Structure 1
Amino acid sequence: MLIRIVRMTFAPERVPEFLEIFRSSEDKIRQMPGCQHLELWQDADAPSVYCTHSHWESAEALNAYRGSGLFGQVWPATKALFAAPVLAFSVYPAGTQPYSSALPTS
């Protein structure tokens, strides 16, 4: 399982637009092949900062979603509302993937 976190900062006046986009697409995203979970989080200290937290069967499933028509509609509309650069990253639960000994040493 791959976990994807996307942290997005919006101008306060753009938050309602973002929430409308998310609410109208969240069930469709959950139905994408390989999507196991999707949540929306709001920052406790910065109310115009939101994170999506999603679980995917694999990186391939996430990439298939990212190449889909749905993503092609949702992401550009969301991206147009950003007030700061997005922070997005993927992680695996510790111990579920083979440890790589080829990590940089410096």
Structure 2
Amino acid sequence: MFVRIVKMSFNVSEIDVFLKNFNANKHKIRAFKGCNYLELYRDKNDTNIFFTYSYWDTETDLETYRKSDLFKSVWSKTKPLFNAKPEAWSVDKLESLQ
């Protein structure tokens, strides 16, 4: 399991624009080949900071998504809304307890 974590910080005035774009595309992202899981989180103390967690079969699947028209469309609408450079981590899931 390959996990991608992305931290995004938005201008307060742009949060609704981001959420509308995310909601319009979340099912398409989740349905993309190789994507098994997608979540959006919001920081409890700094509410202009959001995180996405997505689980991918392979790193190649993530890279295919990042080169897709879907990603380019979503990212082109998201990128201008930031108030800080986004950060991203690619990690391997070692354990999951439920």
- Normalising TM by the smaller chain, what interval? over 0.9
Residue in 1 that maps onto 2:91: 91
Q: Percent identity?
A: 39
Structure 1 residue 22: Cα displacement: 0.2
Deviation track 1:8-49 (CA, whole Å, cap 9, x = no partner) reads 000111000000010000000011000000000001110010
Residue in 1 that maps onto 2:37: 37
With normalisation by structure 1, the TM-score equals: 0.87
User: What are structure 1's unaligned runs of at least 5 residues?
Assistant: 96-106
Structure 1 residue 6: Cα displacement: 0.5
Distance in 2 separating the partners of 1:94 and 1:4: 14
Distance in 1 separating the partners of 2:4 and 2:23: 18
Structure 1 residue 83: Cα displacement: 0.4
The number of residues matched between the two structures is 95
- Between Structure 1 and Structure 2, which shows a larger proportion of helix residues? 2
With normalisation by structure 2, the TM-score equals: 0.94
2:81 alignment partner, SS class: coil
1:80 alignment partner, SS class: helix
Pairing 1:40-59 to 2, within 5 Å after superposition: 40-59=40-59
Structure 1 residue 94: Cα displacement: 2.9
CA RMSD after TM alignment:
0.9
**Which ranges of 4 or more aligned residues in structure 1 deviate by more than 6 Å?**
none
Amino acid at match of 1:9: S
Distance in 2 separating the partners of 1:52 and 1:94: 19
Structure 1 residue 93: Cα displacement: 1.6
User: What are structure 2's unaligned runs of at least 5 residues?
Assistant: none
Distance in 1 separating the partners of 2:91 and 2:45: 24
Distance in 2 separating the partners of 1:85 and 1:54: 19
